[in-house]
Amino acid sequence: MNHLIHELLPPKGDGMRWSNSDPITGQAAWFDLKVNIEKAPNQSGPTEPQFPKQKRAKTSPTNVEYGKEWTK
């Protein structure tokens, strides 16, 4: 749902639009966002957004060592 959540909050009485993020860390503040989800009417055609297919990796690693230090 990140593509649906705006990075600015709605304007307040003073016309200012504040960032929709934590003032200390800068992390996006979607965790406390209230949303209403409704079933869309039947439509013909593709859903949105559409993304191109990702290409398959040409090779795969034979020896994966990421996280090895945590298995001891």
Write out pLDDT tens, residues 12-71: 888 888 887 777 777 776 666 677 888 878 878 888 888 999 888 888 888 888 888 888
Question: How many beta carbons lie within 10 A of that of residue 4, not counting itself?
Answer: 9
Phi and psi at residue 55, to the nearest 5°: -75, 145
The DSSP call for residue 59 is: -
- Residue 46, C-beta contacts closer than 8 angstroms, at least 6 positions apart: none
Q: Has residue 1 got a pLDDT over 70?
A: no
> Which one, of 38, 21, 19, 39, lies nearest residue 30 by Cα?
21
pTM over 0.85? The answer is no
